[in-house]
Amino acid sequence: MFLDLDEIGKFNAHKTSGNFLMEFQVKNVPSERIATQKILSVIGECLDNFGPGCVGVQKILNARCPLVRFSHQASGFQCDLTTNNRIALKSSELLYIYGALDSRVRALVFSIRCWARAHSLTSSIPGAWITNFSLTMMVIFFLQRRSPPILPTLDYLKTLADAEDKCIIEGHNCTFICDLNRIKPSQNTETLELLLKEFFEYFGNFAFNKNSINIRQGREQNKPEPSPLHIQNPFETSLNISKNVSQSQLQKFVDLARESAWILHQEDKDHPSPASNQPWGLAALLLPSVAKRVSHDKKKRKKPASERIKNLLESIKSSPENSTNTNGKRTVSTQA
């Protein structure tokens, strides 16, 4: 959500009432950014104290784009509230267009984000890790790189736009076609299973040290800056949306991507049965043992995925957290 304050400045500041002149004034602040921070700080306090169902209010005012983050208890939604951030609104609209073009897009994005959260690659707390937005951009870029492409480039969507689609925000060209019926469907028929495996394979071997990710053109480009991970902002093209990501966090992502690709390749060879008691497919990639393995000494010999999964299941069965209820049934306590 964003609060549009631009219209306020267009109001007539002087109004007359009888023989009196009314003048509306605001306090002077050193910059528009500081004004935005002060406004969001007050809004955050109001939400925290008076917003029905609003919990977990965080005022993240020092971010490049200051925001207030909170959760709505009744609906379960998490919200990022900003002011005068119309470019972010166009970015959300673009993601909606891409998600609606092909049924595989949202499923793959959800799977990758779920995988990243399971291994602490992402976090709700600002820091040096990859964000969900960056992951979504990586999925879109990957789907643009398939042969034939599953998703069109942003520049192509711009060429299809007509006059009513034209959108210039703060000097940035945010134009793209909004009519889904005018975008030709992809001829690519690859399955989600294959795409998931290929995603890990692709980014597990991506040259992050020299190339950047750019969904406008859908091709790898030389990095314009030395940041470990460079993902070009689709509209503010001079910005890197992943500038916060550290080298160690990027390496953790690469290691986990390679590990996950290896697990899926092993499953292709072994053809695991869904009727077996062992996790398989996406479920096998969400096991915490995969993340622990990356943190171990790389000089140690790596155990096969099947053996690690077996050890995990055995440890769960023998865990002291397991208990037997009065009906003689075994229960296992878990944490989300």
| Domains defined for the chain, CATH in brackets | 2-84 (no CATH), 87-268 (1.10.1410.10)
Query: What is the rounded end-to-end Cα distance, in angstroms, of the chain?
Result: 27
Read off the pLDDT of residues 297-306 as tens digits, 9 standing for 90 and up: 444 445 555 6
For residue 132, count other CB atoms closer than 10 A to its CB.
Answer: 16
Residues 94 and 161: beta-carbon distance below 8 Å? no
* Mean of pLDDT values over 199-227: 92
Determine the average pLDDT of the residues in 205-226.
Answer: 91
Q: Which residues are bridge partners to 222 per DSSP? A: 211
Q: What is the pLDDT of residue 183?
A: 92
Q: Report pLDDT digits (tens) over 186-207.
A: 999 999 999 999 999 999 999 9
Least confident of 9-18, 213-222, 243-252: 9-18
Each residue of 116-131: pLDDT tens digit? 999 999 987 778 999 9
Q: Give the helix/strand (H/E) hosting 58.
A: strand 54-60
CA–CA dist 63, 5 (Å, integer):
19
What is the tens place of the pLDDT at every residue in 32-64? Answer: 888 889 999 999 999 999 999 999 999 999 887
- Per-residue confidence at 220, pLDDT binned at 50, 70, 90? confident
User: Residue 16 half-sphere exposure, CB side, CA atoms within 13 Å?
Assistant: 2
- Phi and psi at residue 29, in whole multiples of 5°? -130, 155
Instruction: Read off the amino acid at residue 143.
Output: L
Phi, psi of 59 (to 5 degrees): -100, 100
Distance between CA 91 and CA 88 in Å, rounded? 5
Distance, in Å, from the CA atom of 233 to the CA atom of 283, rounded to the nearest integer, reads 32
pLDDT digits (tens, 9 = 90+) for 66-96: 899 999 999 989 898 988 778 888 899 999 9
CA 20 to chain centre: 54
Please give the Cα distance from 246 to 227 (Å, whole number).
Answer: 8
Averaged confidence pLDDT in the chain: 82
User: What is the band of 18 on the pLDDT scale with cuts at 50, 70, 90?
Assistant: low
pTM for this entry: 0.73
Whether 103 contacts 118, CB under 8 Å: no
* Strands (DSSP E) found in 147-260: 168-169, 172-173, 211-212, 221-222
Are 93 and 87 spatial neighbours (Cβ–Cβ below 8 Å)?
Answer: no
Give dist(CA 129, CA 133) in Å, integer. 12
Quick one: average pLDDT of 249-260?
A: 94
Distance separating alpha carbons of residues 242 and 230, to the nearest angstrom: 6
SS percent in the chain: helix, strand, coil, step 5: 45, 15, 45
Give the mean model confidence (pLDDT) for residues 167-190: 90
